[in-house]
Amino acid sequence: MIRKIWEQNTYLCLMNTHFFSPCTLSRIKLLYLVLIAFFLWSCQQPIVHEKVSKAENAAEPLVTYATGFTIEKQVDGSYEVSVYHPDLPGQALFSCRVSDDRSLQNKAPNNAIRPIPLDSVAVFSATQLSGLLQLGLAEVVVGISDARYITDSVIKQRHEKGQITELANNGVFFTERILALNPEAVFYSPYQLNQPHPLAGSQLFMVPFMDFMETNPLGRAEWIKFTAVFFNQLPLADSLFNQIADEYNTLKKLASNMPERPTVMSDKYFADQWYVPGGKSYVATMIADAGGDYLWKNNPQVASIPLDFETVLKTASKADYWRIVSTYNITPTYEKIGEENALYQQFDAYKNRKIIFCDSRVTGYFEKGSLEPQKQLADLIYVFHPELLPDYRPVYYQVIR
């Protein structure tokens, strides 16, 4: 949610300039105005990367579960990386070829092959940072956003020492600071594809990172391969991901034949709306894989659905379990949740003390959860079907006692 606000607010901040004066402009001011207008016009252009032609007989796909990107190894040893538009099937939003072979780079016309590994990167989401940390690449991170929310001790220490620069805070990009830092790549989350990114007019290597669009938990985790290809770490990423996938699929199979599946509702009421995960969402998929019966499973949406309180109460008042991801400054209790909104006490899951709570601050859910779907799945299975994992100790989700 925070990242989405960043993307929306930043563009508005960039366009809310004070260069135009109601007074008659002198020639110098007019020239300055023209230059500014040209700059803003250039920023309106979308970030487009020319699709690189594939080498002949190139067909070694390296992505299994993710649908938002592909990596294909070419016969010359380079990799073609593509990110696809979520609303336009088959259309590449981004494409490039990368290689660590300097002779191959020199032969490619117009710098068509980018050299790897990259030496520096700025990241604007916690999941982008998490992939780099899993790959042991903390030293290449030179820019982050909202440093106060980072929980990783290494990154916090590097920031305190001045080795990492904060490039965005509270929904605002520090454009001049980003340009001065000039990282080799900027990983960004294009939430608003119909709006230009504030850095669209720059010469920075802008890499769209769209893991948040994946509906399969393993598809979201597989974006670690996307990160790895730019740092020549694909073998390590493959090894890490294969272990995640093996554990996840083993757990999924364990819960697949349970005869009884408890009903599950999710999230909370906020700003006069209850944003319920769509039936094809990441959350819905994980609940089903854990042997739960998500009450909006038949909804065709991937994104969250805004509903009024009465609609949610009508559908979920008898739900067996209620999943919540949030954080408090104290240990969560039913009393605390009831005080937050007295209407919550009308749900059976509240009355029967079956709220499944994930403290996002304590667990680092938004920072590393996408790369640990097998642990989240095990947590939910332990809640829904404890007999399947009798000696298990939860990591992310626990039923509030």
pLDDT bracket for residue 153 (50, 70, 90): very high
Give residue-wise pLDDT tens across range 242-280: 999 999 999 999 999 999 999 999 999 998 999 999 999
What distances in angstroms separate CA 51 from CA 82, 92, 209, one per listed residue? 8, 8, 17
Q: Cα angle at 95 between 89 and 98, to 5 degrees?
A: 145
pLDDT bracket for residue 371 (50, 70, 90): very high
Mean of the per-residue pLDDT values of the chain:
86
Question: Strand (E) positions, 146-259?
Answer: 165-169, 172-173, 185-188, 206-208
Give residue-wise pLDDT tens across range 324-359: 999 988 889 999 999 999 999 999 999 999 999 999
Q: Among 52-56, 109-113, 296-300, which is the least confidently predicted range?
A: 52-56
Alpha helices in 222-296 (DSSP H): 223-229, 234-255, 282-289
In the chain, what are the domain boundaries? Answer: 42-244, 256-399
Nearest to 277 by CA among 296, 264, 298: 296
Overall average pLDDT of the 207-235 stretch:
97
- Residue pair 187/209 in contact (Cβ under 8 Å)? The answer is yes
**What pLDDT shows up at residue 193?**
66
More confidently predicted of 171 and 90:
90
Specify whether domain 42-244 bears CATH 3.40.50.1980: yes
Domain 42-244 matches domain 256-399 at the CATH topology level: yes
CB half-sphere exposure, 212, CA atoms < 13 A: 19
**What pLDDT shows up at residue 29?**
39
**What pLDDT shows up at residue 194?**
65
In 64-90, which positions are buried (b, 16+ CB within 10 angstroms) versus exposed (e)? eebbbbbbbbbeeebbbbbbbbbeeee
Query: Cβ atoms within 10 A of the Cβ of 311, count?
Result: 13
**What pLDDT shows up at residue 324?**
98
Overall average pLDDT of the 366-384 stretch:
97
Q: What's the CA gap between 363 and 357, in Å, rounded?
A: 11
Give residue-wise pLDDT tens across range 109-141: 777 899 999 999 999 999 999 999 999 999 999
CATH architecture of 256-399: 3-Layer(aba) Sandwich (3.40)
Q: What's the CA gap between 73 and 232, in Å, rounded?
A: 12
